[in-house]
Structure 1
């Protein structure tokens, strides 16, 4: 659709399947055979119809002699996003048009009224005509770049936008013509492809590097300027808008197909190979390797040039590069470092594609790499990296039952795969994400708790939850956008979490992480699943406690409910936030008497919203995101309350929120931008909203335990009543009456003793299910006793101790395991139990137990997977994979024993 992210189109281009028949570089061409057959000829001819209608001189004349710009805003409308509304066609090559308002540029209203001149490396003057807006760019250049555009003018380079798009169009046409030659043997197609490639080889040496970023002034570097450019790596580029895409691999594939056609002269071959392909590699490789999500694009170019031009050094570098991306940038669970599913998929699919380009490769006879002294023979990297095999599975795990991708961090919520037949609980301990899942077909439920750090493309969303039930998302995370609502979509206030003091959560970075810590994960029983995480790093030096527990309780094959316990201590304002379905209109309904509520901001504060995705917003020192929540009403928060979050999505269902926090404050009901349905069009953002519910408390040194039962239901509610029973401060004891009985859920605040009526709990958690006024089942978590009336169950409680050693198959130990300093009773711990590992640096993850063993007189906890860290004899430890931390101090383990007993 117009305006949808170009990144998606780039990814599609990356996934061109190429068969590689030749085992040795230098074998008869083509090295890469296209994934096409005679059935594709007609479609290729249709695509190339306008190209084939041009004579040679007309075709060559379309090749841009100067590098262009991708980001040029339409000054006539607010459609689209990220200054990417304009496009170009071969029919009218001297102008561009807007995909939304359809205005063509330049025109009488927006004429070219100025020209920027720059001298290139060949000492030629290049001219960039522009229309200058009567106001400055939305964002200023960085301090390093500012001297290169001192007048701070907002200039629209319409013609350069055409050059940029024409370059993409013609380089793709060269590949398509080459494929036609391969399929038909018609040398005319090869000749036309060669004309385009050779013309690019002639003009490329004169291309200037330029800085092309939305909302900022353009900078074209003169030929005298070279590395290092005063920008972040890869942001000065000659070919694409950033240098990750500056090796023109599509024309490398084309050249491979036509190389032996007889239509490419030796002089042309020399220009193409040296002035274009090798030159582009030299330019890109002048940057440092940053191991980013765009590196597969570089690798695609590097490998294609290396194989087609017989440069084994390029290929050795590529193999090492691939290995570093996997081992240094993936968590132990296989997740890409940024934690965003879209960027994970982009990176992993891109890596899989470049590995395929290396399939079967062998170095030329006698070749040994001059530095490593190694050679490559009959390469097959598909299963060479166990962590990569794990990473490939994630895109089919982190998806909702309808196939939509779970929108973690900067993830496009519209991406989807095949629907799920059944949902199950999942733990991603490395990145920090848990799924409580159950059910089959239309009765699937997924509740997600997110507790990851921030390592790029992150949201301020620690301890946020989402919920999918009855066929739709019911509590959403907006996900990614390139519109001016990007900062809203990534804000704390747009997520189902708790905001403290009206401030955004700290997003952290490698040197100062904001990761959450897993504290409990119990998911073996589909009818009672629990996850808890600590997120105190979200508000450093502001809170003493910031912890959330999410419990999924099954009632039948069709229905379940959630219990949400969020503990926050410290600060002067706590705001418990729930947002509804971001895919459909919805409301927050209640029987409470409400009055109008003007603003979440102090009276009179003026809000300036971002005008572009990276343009700053502000609200006179306050959190400007408050301004996005509108159409508000409020009610004093009673001790117990009920709100229904409705959705117009089909099948029709809603989430009833049974608030049982027993806290003061205000309930605030509003509507906030849901973003997704605007389909990346700035002008439609205000058309779509989602229900927003906020429980706000204010006071000194607040201590809040927000307790809610979240009941998704279609038709009639499944819960009759929710009563919170009295206990010690911090204890949570709920009596939930449902159709055929009563559930009791008890959580102690300090793993202590809890006694209420005829219910006794010694331990961390207890679950009692009654049917027909009789105890039907007891589940004890991390405790020694759970008793209800005359029925009881006992357990081993919590088993903890020091980790004295780590065993890894990847190191040659033969097993994955933890050597511990205390005995663990066999038969008392359930296989699949999640061990909580607390490292000496203060971080914790969950590892799945396989069985208990003994080695050399020591207890060994055998694991189902790689522990992901190692210990040395001198007391130091380190991550094997991302984030690559090293630390000193004792590593501890904790096994929270779970005992379940059924009585009927």
Structure 2
């Protein structure tokens, strides 16, 4: 589903205090603001009122359009630009060609007879391939946006100055919109798709379209309430003489604006079935704005009812928006805050019947909000950019603020964790994902992102609307294992692919560890398990033990992708002499995608391996290294390869640096490696060594399940031994410290209760000094929770786990995904004789 690409909403802002009948917002009458606004609207001051009326499009505009000449940009969005001097023409942002022209003339048209009887003609150019280019209708859409912004500025100027020159022009724009809005055709406006039109007076449903896909005002239904025009109207309501519009618009212009623009916009939008999507809160906000402007409490109540239901349905217990992407989490949380702002201090009129709102404060209805805000603040890399989890924009983060210190983060309900250590320039973070697929997800369970030495050394591309989107969401573009050249399974609410967190510990100053069973990602996998141990030897001296065990399928491909921000130089310690034309399997295709909708995850037409270029291969038996060197940092990965392992180096699209221009995608290629092992089971073991100038680890070796790392620290020769056996992790350092994950102990969870808002578990045994507890969910999955304290058989948790136990012993989540599981519930804790004990 395509979502708005508007920049992220500021999450923290001051709530305005307003009352019914007052403008939705007020602004300072600072002279500099007034002068700036006057300059913006001057072109309209130079027009007569009838000329201003003519700036309002008489028919629905169209948003999505590409360039038929250069095919630049992506998603048919922001490609062809318009400004008033262009009239009904548009100009390409990338090749500067103006359309229409002799090469790309109008050669077809669509004629619509509006309800008023007006004839609307949509002229367009159709290419030989059948692509449609509505140049004029796109100019209408851009003019529609522009003239609305002018109405906003004019109404604000009028409220500041009471100069009728501004008030009249704002009023005539609003009045003209009220005249033409009933005739605006419903259209399906979508990237790379043929436009569909529906009658202007038809409300949802629209044949072949899902809810909100047919739109009358905006390019999709979520934005079909003219809230900005309601704000402009609200300002004029405070004293403007509407009789001044009698000759231009007609008598009772104000009522026409209310009935034929604002109320109609609400009615068309409200006719759609509720979806509770990440765009829904924006609609609720607009309902509140129009409801308050028109003193229509039923609109406000409609919005608040939807808002409260939304809060119950869409968030995990750890505060994450269900789609598991920082970008859409921020958008959703910011939009919810926008609803609260619009509704703040609202009071129903005396005549309202039913539930009454008095000085409404929706923030009180959002007890999860602190957690949600925490996610926004914590889900960042040390350089301040958002962690590119799933569909997260890797570079659209405003002005990133680097962190001073990196600490570990655990989001067990979502299925993601970031192991972190270090301060200043010596911050290291390893992110690992095992989340389900609930929209805007990638097929990347078990994948890692490594940030160290000031850069994202092992990258996840993140979000794109470009034509290589199929590559960016495929398992092969991530730092994980591909089974039989196929992507991971697509999860659903009924059959989620969320992995199981087996172990996590971030309490030791030298060791941060995690053990994830991501086997739900592949129905063919019996084992799909990644263990990561981040060892902090000293400032700027961090390394990661990385073991990935796989069983199931025939071929296991272990991918590692370097930095997306630089090409860098990749060298390997073994001979890769054989040049490979393609790694696409016999059943896969190598076609080129035309747009983002040709993702083809099955790979029969466009296989993900077709994106791999400059492929070279060789054999590895035992230890070998791959080293990426960048301008200011580097990474050496020591690989303990199984016998029979084939190694490939390649280049693949990094996408980010193309900045949403499809024509530039092949200019930016990153270096990667892939290890292939065939047979029933594989064990990929690596030690990742970030460095600034030169590698610093002297040697790496192994003895069965023990991995030996030798290096020099402060002039001393240090040897660390890391042992991974079953669920046990043991690190012994020559520097004089020792870490043990402890022996596991399991039992039955007897009960769960909330004691004055504090969550508590009752166990069948007594423990002391327990850091975490793992719950085994009967229908699959695990819960993993921090323990604050222990008292007898009771454990006090740090956070609410988001579920309750029914009288029948069933575990029922009141947070997303709202599943219900039958008992009994088993738990596991990890005992370390030096730190923990059992009574």
TM-score, reference length from structure 1: 0.88
Rate the CA distance shift 1:162–1:38 in 2: closer, same or farther, 3 A: same
Equivalent position of 2:64 in the other structure: 71
Q: Is the 8 A contact 1:172 1:251 kept in 2?
A: no
Deviation of 1:20 (Å): 3.5
Residue of 820, 827, 835 corresponding to 1:886: 820
Q: Is the 8 A contact 1:326 1:388 kept in 2?
A: no
Distance 1:573 1:440 in 2: 41
Deviation of 1:34 (Å): 3.7
Q: Please give the residue correspondences for 1:382-401 in structure 2 after superposition, counting only pairs within 5 Å.
A: 382-401=363-382
Residue of 309, 318, 329 corresponding to 1:333: 318
Rate the CA distance shift 1:10–1:710 in 2: closer, same or farther, 3 A: closer
Give the 3-state SS of the residue equivalent to 2:71 in structure 1.
coil
Equivalent position of 2:152 in the other structure: 175
Q: Is the 8 A contact 2:158 2:164 kept in 1?
A: yes
- With 75-84 and 572-581 compared, the bigger mean Cα shift is at 75-84
1:662 and 2:642 equivalent? yes
Distance 1:604 1:291 in 2: 39
Deviation of 1:591 (Å): 2.5
Equivalent position of 1:869 in the other structure: 803
Distance 2:189 2:12 in 1: 27
Give the 3-state SS of the residue equivalent to 1:283 in structure 2.
helix
Rate the CA distance shift 1:626–1:204 in 2: closer, same or farther, 3 A: same
Deviation of 1:386 (Å): 1.9
Distance 1:428 1:35 in 2: 42
Q: Is the 8 A contact 1:18 1:33 kept in 2?
A: no
> How many pairs align?
818
1:40 and 2:33 equivalent? yes
Q: Please give the residue correspondences for 1:784-863 in structure 2 after superposition, counting only pairs within 5 Å.
A: 797-808=743-754, 814-820=757-763, 822-826=764-768, 829-830=769-770, 833-854=771-792, 859-863=793-797
Rate the CA distance shift 1:616–1:398 in 2: closer, same or farther, 3 A: closer
1:721 and 2:699 equivalent? yes
Q: Is the 8 A contact 1:187 1:261 kept in 2?
A: no
Q: Is the 8 A contact 1:120 1:208 kept in 2?
A: yes
Give the 3-state SS of the residue equivalent to 1:386 in structure 2.
coil
Give the 3-state SS of the residue equivalent to 1:483 in structure 2.
coil
Q: Is the 8 A contact 1:780 1:899 kept in 2?
A: no
Equivalent position of 1:736 in the other structure: 709
Deviation of 1:317 (Å): 2.4
Equivalent position of 2:171 in the other structure: 194
Distance 1:583 1:217 in 2: 36
Deviation of 1:616 (Å): 4.5
Give the 3-state SS of the residue equivalent to 1:48 in structure 2.
helix
Rate the CA distance shift 1:839–1:216 in 2: closer, same or farther, 3 A: same
Q: Deviations over 1:768-803 (max 9, x none)?
A: 1113xxxx1222213xxxxxxxxxxxxxx2222122
Rate the CA distance shift 1:899–1:278 in 2: closer, same or farther, 3 A: farther
Distance 1:663 1:192 in 2: 78
Equivalent position of 2:277 in the other structure: 292
Q: Is the 8 A contact 2:89 2:135 kept in 1?
A: yes
Rate the CA distance shift 1:182–1:100 in 2: closer, same or farther, 3 A: same
Deviation of 1:388 (Å): 1.7
Distance 2:828 2:514 in 1: 15
Q: Is the 8 A contact 1:608 1:619 kept in 2?
A: no
Equivalent position of 2:246 in the other structure: none
Equivalent position of 2:516 in the other structure: 533
1:705 and 2:683 equivalent? yes
Q: Is the 8 A contact 1:74 1:86 kept in 2?
A: yes
Deviation of 1:514 (Å): 0.9
Rate the CA distance shift 1:16–1:223 in 2: closer, same or farther, 3 A: farther
Deviation of 1:529 (Å): 0.5
1:118 and 2:100 equivalent? no
Give the 3-state SS of the residue equivalent to 1:639 in structure 2.
strand
Q: Is the 8 A contact 1:852 1:861 kept in 2?
A: yes
Distance 1:18 1:88 in 2: 35
Q: Deviations over 1:801-833 (max 9, x none)?
A: 122222136xxx54211122x21223xx24xx2
Residue of 316, 323, 337 corresponding to 2:308: 323
Q: Is the 8 A contact 2:225 2:283 kept in 1?
A: yes
1:345 and 2:330 equivalent? yes
TM-score, reference length from structure 2: 0.94
Rate the CA distance shift 1:697–1:51 in 2: closer, same or farther, 3 A: farther
Equivalent position of 2:547 in the other structure: 565
Q: Is the 8 A contact 2:204 2:268 kept in 1?
A: no
Deviation of 1:559 (Å): 1.6
Distance 2:280 2:589 in 1: 42
Distance 1:183 1:398 in 2: 42
Give the 3-state SS of the residue equivalent to 1:767 in structure 2.
strand
Give the 3-state SS of the residue equivalent to 1:378 in structure 2.
coil
Distance 1:71 1:269 in 2: 33
1:587 and 2:569 equivalent? yes
Q: Please give the residue correspondences for 1:667-686 in structure 2 after superposition, counting only pairs within 5 Å.
A: 667-686=647-666
Distance 2:8 2:152 in 1: 17
1:474 and 2:457 equivalent? yes
Distance 1:744 1:616 in 2: 44
Deviation of 1:194 (Å): 1.1
Rate the CA distance shift 1:680–1:30 in 2: closer, same or farther, 3 A: same
- With 606-615 and 198-207 compared, the bigger mean Cα shift is at 606-615
Q: Is the 8 A contact 2:706 2:723 kept in 1?
A: yes
Deviation of 1:295 (Å): 0.9
Equivalent position of 1:770 in the other structure: 734
Q: Deviations over 1:157-202 (max 9, x none)?
A: 1111111111111112111111222233323212211111111111
Rate the CA distance shift 1:292–1:606 in 2: closer, same or farther, 3 A: closer
Rate the CA distance shift 1:89–1:15 in 2: closer, same or farther, 3 A: farther
Equivalent position of 2:598 in the other structure: 615
Deviation of 1:438 (Å): 0.8
Distance 2:648 2:569 in 1: 12
1:522 and 2:515 equivalent? no
Unmatched segments (≥5 aa) in structure 1? 137-153, 727-731, 752-763, 783-796
Rate the CA distance shift 1:899–1:461 in 2: closer, same or farther, 3 A: farther
Distance 1:799 1:8 in 2: 48
Rate the CA distance shift 1:618–1:443 in 2: closer, same or farther, 3 A: closer
Residue of 616, 630, 638 corresponding to 2:621: 638
Q: Is the 8 A contact 1:21 1:31 kept in 2?
A: no
Give the 3-state SS of the residue equivalent to 1:220 in structure 2.
strand
Q: Deviations over 1:740-775 (max 9, x none)?
A: 3111110113x5xxxxxxxxxxxx12111113xxxx
Equivalent position of 1:361 in the other structure: 346
Q: Deviations over 1:267-308 (max 9, x none)?
A: 111111111111011001001111111012201210100111
